[in-house]
Structure 1
Amino acid sequence: MPADAPRALELLLVEDNPGDVELAREALRDVTVPHHLSVVHDGVEALAFLRRTGAHADAPRPDLVLLDLNVPKLDGRGVLAEAKGDAELRDIPIVVLTSSQAASDVRRAYALHANAYVAKPVDLDQHLAAVRAVVEFWGTVALRAREG
């Protein structure tokens, strides 16, 4: 990679559904932002990854977390509360990417300081486009502004 090339966007996907993991991977194939995707399957593992503990001691610090609310062991709300309550982690953008369109889930996610809430569209093409749009936005506009 040339010295002036942008570094790869470090993405963490917190998702227990293998089909949704594959959809995310498929969506990311067409993203123009250089990126690296890590995947964890439950909330406890997500916090270990974010805190770089245990098996994730060498994990990269994510630039963006894509978080499903309905993951086992510790749900997405618990992950949000822990991450946004931790001074070392609170500045990592967390986008809730979930099937729930319930107004109560949206309000709760924002109350826990989610940076965005995206309901997974049922339509395949719309789902792929939504994931791409989130990553393109955070990888170009938002992240680059933070590195400023």
Structure 2
Amino acid sequence: MAELKPILLVEDNPKDIELTLAALADNRLANEVIVVRDGEEALDYLFRRGIFKLRAAGNPAVVLLDLKLPKVDGLEVLEQVKTDAMLRTVPVVMLTSSREEPDLNRSYKMGVNAYVVKPVEFTEFTQAIREIGLFWAVINQPPPGSVVPKVAVALK
């Protein structure tokens, strides 16, 4: 079987990290989930620099990106991803608690693939994460000529 592409989770809230990982595991996605806790670390991972300079080449299947991050905010991460020739086709899902219309509009103008407001209620949150993981890592068809994300899911 071909190597699975990881899912990059960019989130600074420990509870949201825990819930997201649990929801993805419940859906039985076999992809590794790489967790980074700020925008600078996300960029280091994506551009293979800093502590990630020796990581294997290749892009994640999807980036789940929080908007409000320390060091470098989610919009700056999004801008750098979508303006880089090697990264621009990587799906980016803004996963945030912000319902502010300017954040939503700016995210789409900058090329975000989806904007999901984190539900406050636990079961709604885990269901949203399951659906995001399945769609972007399994169902979504990447553009022609891009590397197809490898994903495995064990069906119940």
Question: Do both proteins adopt the same fold according to a TM-score greater than 0.5, normalized to the shorter chain?
Answer: yes
**Does 2:108 align with 1:110?**
yes
2:88 corresponding residue in structure 1? 90
Please list every run of 5 or more consecutive structure 1 residues that lacks an aligned counterpart in the other structure. Answer: none
| SS at 2:140 equivalent | helix
CA contact (8 A) 1:121 1:127 kept: yes
Aligned AA (1:123): E
| SS at 2:115 equivalent | strand
Please list every run of 5 or more consecutive structure 2 residues that lacks an aligned counterpart in the other structure. Answer: 150-156
Aligned AA (2:93): V
2:79 corresponding residue in structure 1? 81
Aligned-pair CA distance for 1:34: 2.1
**Does 2:27 align with 1:31?**
yes
Structure 2 CA distance for aligned equivalents of residues 15 and 44 of structure 1: 12
1:119 corresponding residue in structure 2? 117
CA contact (8 A) 1:33 1:140 kept: no
**Does 2:40 align with 1:44?**
yes
TM-score (norm 2): 0.85
State the 4+ residue runs in structure 1 displaced beyond 4 angstroms.
143-146
Aligned-pair CA distance for 1:32: 3.6
CA contact (8 A) 1:27 1:131 kept: yes
Structure 1 residues 9 and 133: alpha-carbon distance in aligned structure 2, compared to 1, 3 A threshold: farther
Matched-pair identity in %: 42
**Does 2:10 align with 1:14?**
yes
Structure 1 CA distance for aligned equivalents of residues 15 and 141 of structure 2: 28
Aligned AA (1:26): A
Aligned-pair CA distance for 1:144: 7.0
TM-score (norm 1): 0.90
**Does 2:44 align with 1:53?**
no
Structure 2 CA distance for aligned equivalents of residues 9 and 142 of structure 1: 14
**Does 2:66 align with 1:68?**
yes
| SS at 2:26 equivalent | coil
Candidates 128, 131, 144, aligned match of 2:129: 131
Q: Which structure has greater helix proportion?
A: 1
Aligned-pair CA distance for 1:9: 4.0
Residue by residue over 1:2-54, the C-alpha shift from the partner in whole angstroms, topping out at 9 and shown as x without a partner, is: x3xx6434100000111111011111111243211001111111001000112
Specify which structure has the bigger relative contact order, considering alpha-carbon pairs within 8 angstroms and separated by 6 or more residues. Answer: 2
Count of residue pairs the alignment pairs up: 144
